[in-house]
Structure 1
Amino acid sequence: YDLSNEYGRCDITRFLLSEKVIVNDSPPSHPPLISGTGRFVYVVGVHSKQDVKSAKADYSGDWNRRKPGMKIYVEHSEKKRVEEYDGKYVKSKDGSTILKILRQTKPVLPRLQRLITVVMDLKEEPKGRMVIEYIYSEPGDVLLLSEKK
Structure 2
Amino acid sequence: MSGWEHSNSRHGQVSINGQALFTPASRVMNFPVFWSARSRGADVVLPYAAGQVSRRRRRDALVLQVELWVRGHVSLTGTPAGNPYAQLDTTMETLESAFVVPPSSNTGWAIVRTSRHGATKSTTGFVTSWEPAPHPGKSAVNVVQFELVVPSGVWT
TM-score between both structures, scaled by the size of structure 1: 0.29
TM-score between both structures, scaled by the size of structure 2: 0.28
| Higher gyration radius (CA) | 2
